Amino acid sequence: PRYSRITGTGSYLPPRRVTNAEFAAELAQRGIETSDAWIVERTGIRARHFADAHVTSSDLALQAARHALEAAGRRADEIDLIIVATSTPDMVFPSTACLLQQKLGVHGCPAFDVQAVCSGFVYALTVADAMIRTGAASKALVVGAEVFSRILDFNDRTTCVLFGDGAGAVLLEASDTPGILATELHADGRHVGILCTPGNVSGGKVLGDPLLKMDGQAVFKLAVRVLEEAARAVLAKAGRSDADIDWLIPHQANIRIMQGTAKKLHLPLEKLVVTVDEHGNTSAASIPLALDQAVRSGRIQRGDTLMLEGVGGGFTWGAVLLDW
């Protein structure tokens, strides 16, 4: 049998780091009241990175991809599949994956975007794994890249303090041994309205509201439930149990959701990889950013079992279980 295995990780954060205190001071100038204490207590977020106005998702993706290729010891021209997960693409079309391919200086291999908001990386990894197992690809570059700052409503304190910009990437290669043990994806379009950026371009204008809207409490409740279900399902598929998980790397949206999920899986909090404090919610980029940090810091070791879990707008959710 043919499996897929991550052979390199990389990530990139735009240099401008904004702490809660700095952000609160900026918002206060426009009459919007928030505080470091409120943000930390409700979300665990202490700072986020924001890209400058001219920097796009494909720019961030390029840096993360270069680091992942370097870690895997591969050249860009060896890649035979590029998938980018993003909800903040550079353009309506072509895809951010095609723009990334061009920036990497390569051509020919299939390249496309996956749109599943904060579940995007788990969706993209699942598609790449399936394509590798069928023989359609053997060296896939899978990236999550976002500039959520572009779609934030800086007059809405209930959402603008939650998100940040960044990118993470992995190289996924064909292997005789797993690698990825099992994957699980879901969506429920009945919940479109609780988390959305409903605007679009039409007739040369922006049609509808192009800024992010969220019913935070509805998202919170749904997220905790579906993350446990997805984790249980993926463990069952792989014939593994809670006790086999060495590292839980969930989408980094809110520390309370993440800790709630760890608790339901009976995992001590030391096994939870946390970057939300420094990155905020970077949507599709959050899981590969967290993975790369845990790999580079030496915490994740060969043979460890990792549970990656995403949840986001759509509503979408899913999990990937893998051996490192």
Sites of contact with ligand ACO (CB under 6 A): 34, 38-39, 42-43, 117-118, 157-158, 161, 195, 214, 216-217, 219-220, 223, 253-254, 257, 281, 283, 311-313
- Rounded to whole angstroms, the Cα distance separating 69 from 141 reads 8
Q: In the complex, what is the shortest distance from the CB of residue 35 to ligand ACO, in angstroms, rounded to a whole number?
A: 6
Nearer to ligand ACO, 101 or 252 (CB): 252
Q: In the complex, what is the shortest distance from the CB of residue 4 to ligand ACO, in angstroms, rounded to a whole number?
A: 25
Dihedral angle over CA of 81, 7, 228, 299, nearest 10: -150
- Please indicate whether residue 281 is annotated as part of the active site: yes
- Rounded to whole angstroms, the Cα distance separating 186 from 172 reads 22
Contact 194, 219 (CB under 8 A): yes
* Degrees, nearest 5: CA angle 21-157-251: 85
Nearer to ligand ACO, 103 or 264 (CB): 264
Q: In the complex, what is the shortest distance from the CB of residue 251 to ligand ACO, in angstroms, rounded to a whole number?
A: 6
Contact 42, 159 (CB under 8 A): no
Question: Nearest CA to 246 among 279, 282, 283, 294?
Answer: 294
| Block residue for tokens 């500039």 | 147
Nearer to ligand ACO, 142 or 152 (CB): 152
Largest Cα span, the chain: 61
Nearer to ligand ACO, 4 or 286 (CB): 286
Q: In the complex, what is the shortest distance from the CB of residue 70 to ligand ACO, in angstroms, rounded to a whole number?
A: 30
- Rounded to whole angstroms, the Cα distance separating 20 from 38 reads 10
Choose, from 67, 251, 254, 279, the residue flagged as catalytic: 251
Choose, from 118, 160, 254, 279, the residue flagged as catalytic: 118
Nearer to ligand ACO, 167 or 300 (CB): 167
Q: How many CB atoms lie within 10 A of CB 77?
A: 12
Q: In the complex, what is the shortest distance from the CB of residue 164 to ligand ACO, in angstroms, rounded to a whole number?
A: 11
- Please indicate whether residue 155 is annotated as part of the active site: no
Which residue in the shown chain puts its C-beta closest to ligand ACO? 312
Q: In the complex, what is the shortest distance from the CB of residue 156 to ligand ACO, in angstroms, rounded to a whole number?
A: 8
Residues in the chain: 324
Cis bond leading into 144, ω under 30°?
no
Backbone angles phi, psi at 163, to 5 degrees: -115, 160
Nearer to ligand ACO, 47 or 181 (CB): 47
Residue 81 is classified by DSSP as: E
Q: How many CB atoms lie within 10 A of CB 118?
A: 32
- Please indicate whether residue 160 is annotated as part of the active site: no
Contact 188, 116 (CB under 8 A): no
Residue 227 is classified by DSSP as: H
Active site positions, annotated: 118, 251, 281
